[in-house]
A and B are shown apart, each in its own frame.
Chain A
Amino acid sequence: MAVTEDTTNAGGIGARMLRKEDGKLVTGESKFIDDIHVPGELWMGMVRSTMAHARITSIDTSAAASMPGVHSVLTGAQLADMDLWAAPLPCAWPVTDDMANPPHWPVVPEVVHHVGDIVAVVLADSRYQAADAVEQVIVEYESLPAVASIEQAIADTNLAHTDLSTNKAYTWAIAPDPEGTQAAFDAAAHKVSCRFVQQRLIPAAMEPRGVLAVPSPMGGDITLYSATQVPHILKVMMAATTGIPENMIRVVAPSVGGGFGAKLNINPDESLALVLAHRLGRAVRWTETRSEAAGSTHQGRGQIQHVELASDANGKLTAIRVKIDADMGAYMMLITPGTPLLGSFLYHGVYETPKFSFTCEGWFTNRTPTDAYRGAGRPEASYAIERAMDMLSYEVGIDPIEIRRRNYINGGEPFEMWENPAGIFFDSGHYTPTLDRALEMADVAGLRAEQQARRDAGSSKQLGIGLCTYVEICGLAPSRALGGLKYAAGGWEHSTVRLLPTGKVEVVSGSTPHGQGHETSWSQIIATKMGISPDDVTVLHSDTAKSPLGLDTYGSRSLAVGGVAISMAADKVIEKARLIAAHQFEAAPEDVEFTDGSFSVAGSPSKSVHIQELGFAAFSAHDLPDGMEPNLQEQVSFDPPNFAFPFGTHVAVVEVDEDTGGVELIGYFAVDDCGNQVNPMIVEGQVHGGVVQGAAQALYEIAVYDDDANITNPSLMDYLVPSAAEMPSIVTDSTCTPSTTNPLGVKGVGEAGTIGSAAAVINAVVDALRPHGITDMKMPATPMRVRRAIEAANGGAS
């Protein structure tokens, strides 16, 4: 059943309900990590390696240690002697049995492996004193050859870890029929072979990371506040790696200022704060500085993609072969090795292909580790196939729109449970309507006429129109599927719903928001389910003492897994309440109906009770059915039977100044299908933000490393996160193809914008430059690159 926008129930599923979260955030009442203080807290300052690969020969901490306000300065070797850790920092996704995984200690004892690796930690009374003391620690290094790029890693001349024999970390493949795939290429009427570079990106959530560990020296327990997306995973991992018993650790994520994947890791600073606070019996805190983040928080993307397409004479795909070289950076962090593989099932996009093969090799470099960043593997996949499809359309000589229509799964008609060539099932899809709607909204026909007019006039400002019809995989994830992929944890989500004595509702959520508006959306689900006002609902989350079970928020999973758990727990509360109502009515439970929050008996209008009125009966327990436990509180751990596959069509319109090479994004149109929507306003907001992040990859952002593997643009001065001035308004619409994976029919939308936009924007840039014979453009499409491409295409003299 498709849910259309609900205008009757202002707070139910489908309503554009304004967010409950906003009041605190627009007044400064919210507490982010750096806003929380406890008496006697010590500030950590990190002494970070300035070398990418080197052996520490000496560390002189004496000057720093004698500075005012400094409590202590501890080196990696000293910390190693203090026996603070039970194990190195964790990697939860060893993708192959033979994957290399060099130990990642919070503070390195001997050899640094990237700029930003921590070599010593200062503890001081204030933020400024810690920073001053860090400056005074003198570290001497013996430099080792560094691996500064994927190409250097592959060459294997220098080793990123000298105790490994190669930089290759693993090889992972889905290649059901390599010979058949090769035969398809041999027989193809058209082939394209593309090499794309997914540049490294700095996630740059506006709130830097931070941590505060507060011990209870007598009680023995410890509370870790962290700007994290994953308090539950952090708790388990901290117990496993520090040896502090899990039952003594409480993790709290306060207001978190954006994550985008960058806050889902298990970081050196979190571990350090925890063990030092525990050992010293004093609170220990740290707040990342923005420039420090380039070496202290994982980065995203970092791949070289080789994509080959084969088609028949009409442009109908016959085979797709993909080989990825993925930059792990210096260490395997929580899901570093698996991140590129999250896209592995999607390299055929929304298109049918008889033959498919995917191989990924992971490579160590001496750069900041990579890990999940908004989309995590899927933007890379959709970029590759959507760019390659445009290149195939040039080759075949048909319009990019037409080549897509010819290849859509099920001919563009609706489908359910379509098996892809890698053996997974797309829950549902219907691709043509998003394409048609996006073309109409953007007036692509009109834009084409305008483009031709500018070309005919020899205008220096050329128009480009780019398309992306993406599919993504979310609803992470069926636990068994994760087990099959060697991921250590499951993919369920937990919720408890309790009807309080006074009729109000508490929802305990295992998902952990950091801008997504869960308090609002989860209240809307309860409002519709239980027939109550969303104002009567409070959502408890992000604190393992309030929400002990959960697997947190990443991969657009919260609604499709966590929201569904909430809905199912509400169903259980309603079922129990029905028994109480039946008992009060002296009726059989099967005769008791539940409508708009009220239980009633068919045919006896006098017998009616609102569910909120039953809270007290369940609490007082004076007159419950025989054998029934008091209270109305039910819990569900929902393990989804399948993934969910949202999709959509995006159209980007750019103006390219051929004289300067400048690219301006002048229009953006997004039609997304994420199944049923709980709050369309929030859905649109997610799309807007995602689109800009993907467009930023296409046009502006790149973490630049020099030949010695130093990052040269760590600050927001040089790393170009776009402002409002660079971005256009975004026109959105949606279609609705409910998921078959869960009872709410929902899919997920947190990453969709990013997954669609980088390809759409680059396709538009290349489209503008087609008269020069240009077929590809590297990201980011800077004025320099565009201008040089034009010059090269015109024999060096444009």
Chain B
Amino acid sequence: MSAGAVRVRLSVNGESHEIEVEPRTLLVHALRDSIGLTGTNVGCDTSSCGACTILVDGRSAKSCTMLAVQAEGSEIVTIEGLAATSDGDGLHPMQEAFHECHGLQCGYCTPGMILASVSLVDEYPDLDDKKVREGLEGNLCRCTGYHNIVRAVLTAAGKEA
């Protein structure tokens, strides 16, 4: 173990990992650089964009706002592991809805947007257009103008007219 490094044990997408990181390492960098799961993206350095959103113990969190050491003992789901959390052997319904509704263009915001949406649908059973828009306020997309993202979330939530 290199000088100053600390050991962190966490579960990612159902697999346990034990990694060595500097104490200051951001969780997003631990996921990307130490564990090699590059589906979680980085879009800013001020916790503003939500590209790095993951699920930590079932709730969405911006993985650039957490240190890796804070995830000790947590169960994390990243975009790579989302499909496996749903029944069936295909995509998660939220991934499917983004595809069906053309809720992505370049796809860079998409992993974070999908995971934030999964958590949103989980927390709020009575979503409508306005609530989805407010609920996704922390996730920026430069491509879609949000119209089809909102449709996708409502579709996955079974609320699309």
From DSSP, what is the main secondary structure of chain B's interface residues? loop
Are A28 and B79 touching (Cβ within 8 A)?
yes
Q: Closest A residue to B97 by CB, please name it.
A: A26
Residues of A within 8 A of B99 (CB): 18-19, 22-23, 26
Contact at B145–A290, with CB atoms within 8 Å? no
Which of A522-530, A586-594, A689-697 lies on the face that meets chain B? A689-697
For chain A, residues 708 to 729, give those with C-beta under 8 angstroms from any C-beta of chain B: 715-717, 721, 723-725, 727, 729
Whole-angstrom distance between the alpha carbons of A206 and B40 in the complex? 13
- Does chain A have a CB within 8 A of B83? yes
Nearest Cβ in chain B — how far from A204, in angstroms? 6
Question: Closest approach, in angstroms, between the C-beta of A568 and any C-beta of chain B?
Answer: 27
A771 and B150 CA atoms in complex are apart in Å by 36
Say whether B29 faces chain A, with CB atoms less than 8 Å apart.
Answer: yes
Q: Which of A59-67, A71-79, A426-434, A680-688 sits within the interface? A: A680-688
Partner of A27, one of B45, B95, B148: B95
Please report the total number of A residues contacting B with Cβ < 8 Å. Answer: 57
**Interface members, chain A 242-300 (any B CB < 8 Å):** 255-258, 260, 289-291
Given A127-B33, A290-B46, A717-B48, A724-B146 contact (CB < 8 Å): yes
In-complex Cβ contact of A725 among B49, B133, B141 (8 A): B133
Q: A27-B95, A716-B140 are in contact. Are A19 and B102 (CB under 8 A)?
A: yes
Are A715 and B106 within 8 A (Cβ)? Answer: no
Contact B142 A689 (CB under 8 A): yes
Interface residues in chain A, defined as those with a beta carbon under 8 Å from any beta carbon in chain B: 18-19, 21-32, 34-35, 127-128, 204-208, 255-258, 260, 289-291, 514-517, 681-682, 684-685, 687-693, 715-717, 721, 723-725, 727, 729-730, 753
**Partner of A207 from B29, B78, B80, B106 at Cβ < 8 Å:** B106
Tell me how far the C-beta of A292 lies from the nearest C-beta in chain B, rounded to whole angstroms. 8
From B38, B79, B95, B109, contact of A35 by CB (8 A):
B38
Q: Is A723 within 8 A of B138, CB to CB?
A: yes
Q: Give the nearest-CB partner of B129 in chain A.
A: A729
A724-B132, A725-B136 known; A26 and B114 CB under 8 Å?
Answer: yes
Q: Is the CB of B142 within 8 A of A258?
A: yes
Restricting to B145-161, which residues have a CB under 8 Å from any CB of A? Answer: 145-150
Residues in B whose Cβ lies below 8 Å from that of A27: 39, 79-80, 82-83, 91, 95
The smallest C-beta distance from A722 to any residue of chain B, in angstroms, reads 8
Pair B104/A26 contact, Cβ less than 8 Å: yes
Interface size class of B (residues with CB under 8 A): 35 or more
Q: Are B148 and A688 in contact (CB under 8 A)?
A: yes
Q: Is the CB of A25 within 8 A of B107?
A: yes
Contact B140 A721 (CB under 8 A): yes
Could you say which of A25, A31, A715 contacts B110, with CB atoms under 8 Å apart?
A25
Q: Which residues of A contact B25 (CB under 8 A)?
A: 128
Residue in B108, B141, B142 whose Cβ sees the most chain A Cβ within 10 Å? B142
Q: Tell me whether A22 and B141 are in contact in the complex, defined as CB-CB below 8 angstroms, given that A27-B83, A290-B45, A715-B48 are known contacts.
A: no
The 9 closest A-B pairs by CB, nearest first: A28-B39, A257-B108, A25-B107, A515-B106, A688-B145, A35-B38, A692-B145, A515-B105, A716-B48
Q: A27-B79, A28-B78 are in contact. Are A717 and B104 (CB under 8 A)?
A: no
Residues of A within 8 A of B140 (CB): 206, 716, 721, 723
Whether B37 lies near A685 (C-beta < 8 A) is: no
Min distance, Cβ A726 to any Cβ of chain B, angstroms: 8
Instruction: Please encode chain B, from 78 to 118, with 1 for each CB lying within 8 Å of some chain A CB and 0 for all others.
Output: 11101100000001000100111010111111110010000
**Shortest Cβ distance from residue A151 to the other chain B in the assembled complex, whole angstroms:** 30
CB pair A258–B108 under 8 Å, yes or no, is yes
Other than the known A25-B106, A723-B137, what 12 A-B pairs have Cβ atoms closer than 8 Å?
A22-B104, A26-B91, A27-B79, A206-B106, A255-B106, A685-B102, A685-B145, A689-B144, A715-B46, A723-B136, A724-B132, A724-B149
